Structure 1
Amino acid sequence: MTDAQGALKKTPLFALHNELGARMVPFAGFEMPVQYPLGVKKEHIHTREKAGLFDVSHMGQVKLFGANAAKALEDLVPVDIIDLPVGKQRYALFTNEQGGVMDDLMVTNYGDYIYVVVNAACKEQDIAHLRANLSADVELEVMDDAALVALQGPEAAAVMARFAPETTDMVFMDARAVKVDGVECLVSRSGYTGEDGFEISIPSADAERICRLLLNEPEVEAIGLGARDSLRLEAGLCLYGHDIDTTTTPLEASLIWAISKVRRADGERAGGFPGADVILGQIANKDWTRKRVGLVAEGRAPIREGAELFDADDNKIGVVTSGTFGPTAEKPVAMGYVATEFSALETQVFASVRGKKLPMTVVKMPLVEQRYYRG
């Protein structure tokens, strides 16, 4: 969202981005850094090899208070929130009555409250959805005075340990309130790149100072949205509004792993979330007509979002939803939807690009191995 005057919003790190020479672009109502002087490809590779620092303060951060907060949130997602242990994070989906995905989000149990991070483009609607559906005894606090950054890459843990030694024994999807250079932050060992790393919620007033400290470490470079997109695509991670949306069910999106067993047809807390009949019916009947798949192309020309996919007989069978050249994969990588009969690995399909049909192969995701730290 833009502000009341229609101007783009700025994150607490806006001045720092400009000082670092970032190219700023409009994104989800904010002025955001798409790249720095290093350039998208080098930023991508640096994150894979060392550590990158991303400003993701445009995301929505919310706290839910009250004894019934977990139950109230669980009623809106096909995920086990009630039994989410203190200090653990979980991926979740807001679904609609048609079984479509309204947004994907991260949920953390901090004991005294449930912490939720939602996508920037969906932030206003998600907060309205929560306010409309949470029970009266659940208090919702929007964290408007907090920045959010992600420190990602194989050397992120070593950097983080210098400022918060207690983070070294955290594993993937652990979360803690941790002091970073004396400032209390919410830290989770997670991210959106496929690499080990941390997401750090910092009070806005301290965000620039903490980020300068991290950027002063020799392993760390500032990384923009361009490399964030190529990193997450290689890691097989969905971008909301592109790879998943309100017309997509979790089954079509290959996200059945995100539906907790306890919420499925044979679980003690089965159903009860929006669109449960549709989603549980698809699971029971193995009944969906398209599927999200990974795709690679021959040559070096990237196949972009929106390219239509065809079979060998020139029948349209799907569409590319994300595509770029993968600097680590060293080939054009994409994901998209194909009719289920074309979703088997090694199936050849053809993308229509400027009147030419370019061959692509269905491949296993992630396209680059995920390296989350699991202990």
Structure 2
Amino acid sequence: MAKSSSDAEFLAQLRSQRGGQRADTGPGMILHTPPAKSSKSLDDIIASEGEAAQTPIPAASGSSAAPNAIDHSTAADGSLGRIVSIDLLDPHPWNARVHRSAERVREIASQIAATRQNHPILVTRNPDHPGRYYVVDGETRFRGLKLLNRREAWILEADVDPADPLAFYTASFKQTDATEAISSIDKGIKWATLIEEKHATATSIAEALELAQSTVSRMIAYRKFPPAVLDFMHSNAEKFPYSVAAVLAQLVDQGWSEDALLTKCQEVVDSQYSRRAIESLVKGAKTDSEKKPRKSAVVAIPIKAGATQVGSFRTYESGALEFKLSTAAALSPENYKALSDVFEVVSGLITEGHEQLIDELSSRLAKLRNDG
């Protein structure tokens, strides 16, 4: 990402972009940091160059301007984008990113609050609702602005057809991935969905994104996993590249339950398996699955330390209860000992066969607290 050393250079870089088109590189938008040591807003920078335009935002051809459009533009020709009401922007279902953490949105919101919106949100017009726009790239910025209750957003238009899923996804992918790499999981999910809904083929996706078709074919394996498993994989993304996902997808084909898949994924994380080791693990699992009926959890609650799953609590139709914590790293030494003491008390009560379990547990926990 290039840095601008002056207001003039910053403006020159922005002027080189025309609705997401660059004459030297073809379609695409290069994002730039704001001018070094500049505290001016975008409008102030432009005004200082004598280029501020106080004309209304032009409406789409054949339509009237939206009633809540902001009555100013950052440049008469729109080359620098424009400032519009944030209420005019809408997410699009074929945005390339699937997983967008709340932490990341808060991080971007903090950056905007500390300085300003340093990069425009790339948009395209919504043909069904004149005056409104779909977000092509910059949905995290869009959410960050909404989190800050900002009324306006800096946008830059691109010529993207929102009614063409593959075309929109491709534009969103190329811009979004260049800003912050899209995870393999998000890629696989979207590619598989495009194929399932007959908007594309593996071949057309590979051609549009300039990838090998074999890569596309292997990555769509992520689509086979249920949402809870995908969330776990995303939290431990470095352990589940598409080569590993393609191997584990064989377990889905065998009919493994969500709970069994989560257990196997946790095993992959805990044991630091290589891809070849996972292949052997899956082959061995085939035999095991034939011998033992798979359990189905009635309740499955993940235990997380930040964004990473470190354990789970599950109940089963058989009446079994299971609490599993894979690492003590999520607990302080004091809390680790306290939790161990609690489970020791519970184990004793079950062994003794108390019918009033809650009352007796409360009494013993109070004693444990006093003795501690």
Q: TM exceeds 0.5?
A: no
Bigger strand fraction: 1
Q: Which structure is richer in relative contact order (CA contacts within 8 A, separation 6 or more)?
A: 1
Normalised to the residue count of structure 1, the TM-score between the two structures is: 0.24
Bigger helix fraction: 2
Normalised to the residue count of structure 2, the TM-score between the two structures is: 0.24
